[in-house]
Structure 1
Amino acid sequence: MSKGNRDRKAAQARRIVEQQKAADKRRKVTIWTTVAVFAVLIVAGGIGWGVLANQDKKTEASQVTTPSVAVDEGTAFAVGSGPVTVDLYEDFMCPICNEFEQQTGSTIDKMVTDKRITVRYHPVAILDEASNGTKYSTRSAGAAAAAAQDGKFTEYHKVLYANQPEEGSDGLTDAKLIELGKSVGLGTTFEAAVNDKTYDNWATKVTETFASRGYNGTPTIVVNGKQVEGPNNTLPTTAVFEQAVQAAEG
């Protein structure tokens, strides 16, 4: 091969190498540009999602209908006028809540009658997933709120526990919740609130407040700000509850 041919071949090889290098450089620039754009989109998307999420929260908050009779930041219904405050967080599908109601409910009623305690009932919904997608905990809490708004919370509270469905079942239908309401004297306003799910978002708000206060199980019984439990975090007996009230009375 002549020197001229060798020079041409070498020059051609250098051009190919340079072209490859240039192509590699362009690919790298394109890749990093794409990554940068993607990152910007992610950030922008994140900001957008955050804004939308906040908007959704604001929308949800604006859609919460709080019963005018609710107390404690709109999360509970007060029964009684005694000096000792008893906060009772309960889920109407919770069998242990019903156990506490059957065990200690009459004692609580007497303490209310004797003007020793004020009970603040907080209907929460932590067992929605235990009703096969019907959200019974939320629906029953919303129905209880409707009953409270119409002045029949205590009566409805008792009839709900007397007809408590099994955990893991579909729960009671809205029609049954309305039927139970009628059995204690509730009327068309209550029926409309249950059908329209007027207070269902409120039940969610109460549950969120319950969690934000550090509680995670029902029933949670609190006497003058102190949680009352039996040994090893068990359900307190009536005697233990009475002792807690007596201690609060001083």
Structure 2
Amino acid sequence: MSKAGKDRNKAKRVVEQQKARERRRKVTIWTSVAVVFLLVAAGLVGYAVSSSQQAADAGKLVVPSAAVDDGSAFAVGSGPVVVDLYEDFMCPVCRVFESQSSAALRDLAAKNEITLRYHPVAILDEASEGTQYSSRSAGASAAAGQGGKFVEYHDALYANQPEENTPGLTDDKLIELGRSVGLTDATFSDAVKNKTYVPWAGKNTETFSARGYTGTPTVVVAGKKVTGPNNALPTTADVTKAIDAAKG
């Protein structure tokens, strides 16, 4: 073979080697791109799953085991006549009812003449400038009930009741009120911070509406709603009269 032929063959081999290296380089690049894409996709899927799980957890209904009446209320006493009281912790009329009738009802419950059942509901969220105070305070009361301090915390909420159309109490203040009544462990504070029982408050409010009630306070004695004259707020006398009638 002539020198020129050898040179052509050598040049041909060099070109073929370069093409082979280029093919391997492209395969490596596209393989790397594919791997990166899969990793990114997996990360996005993982993030989406994690975010969805967090959202699901945040909205999960947790019913306090200490609650009665299908998990909707906290009971005081165990008497034969059931008195159901539906309240919103931002409702000023509820506070009026508590101030005038609470002592008498608690006394009857202590004597086991009645079972007094408190149903925290949230119908005034729109009156707290977007903070959902009614739901948050109802949820906090459930956490307190789970900690064995429902009545004490209930009373502390009314003693510190914010005015309507204000942001209401902060979560930190709700936790502080818990500490003031002996709820000092992390279980209570975590439940308030994490809004553990806020969905429960929403469920209670749905039940309240499904039972045909529209305003707070709603007082029900032995299954019958009690009101004052012309559908006014019932007095202590109105409620005790209904209790006596239910006793037979």
The normalised TM-score by structure 1 is 0.75
Which residue, 145, 160, 163 being the options, matches 2:160? 163
Gaps of 5+ in 1: 1-58
The answer to whether 1:102 aligns with 2:102 is no
What is residue 69 of structure 2 aligned with on the other side?
72
Over 2 Å off, 4+ runs:
none
The one of 191, 199, 202 aligned to 2:200: 202
Q: 1:84 aligns with which of 81, 84, 90?
A: 81
Please, what TM-score do these two structures have when normalized by structure 2? 0.76
Kindly provide the CA deviation profile for residues 1-26 of structure 1, in whole angstroms up to 9, marking residues without a partner as x: xxxxxxxxxxxxxxxxxxxxxxxxxx
Pick from 209, 213, 216 the counterpart of residue 215 of structure 1. 213
Q: What's the counterpart of residue 246 of structure 2?
A: 248
SS in 2 for 1:64: coil
Q: 1:70 Cα deviation (Å)?
A: 1.1
Partner of 2:26: none
SS in 1 for 2:163: coil
Are 2:229 and 1:231 aligned? Answer: yes
* Equivalent position of 1:116 in the other structure: 113
The number of residues matched between the two structures is 192
Counterparts of 2:67 and 2:152 in 1: how far apart (Å)? Answer: 16
Tell me, which stretches of 5 or more residues in structure 2 are unaligned? Answer: 1-55
Distance 2:60 2:171 in 1: 21
Q: Which residue of 2 aligns with 1:181?
A: 178
**Equivalent position SS for 1:67:** coil
Give the structure with higher Rg (CA).
2
1:145 matched to 2:135? The reply is no
Separation in structure 2 between the aligned mates of residue 170 and residue 233 of structure 1, nearest angstrom: 30
> CA separation in 2, counterparts of 1:94 and 1:65?
24
Across the aligned residues of Structure 1 and Structure 2, the Cα RMSD in angstroms comes to 1.4
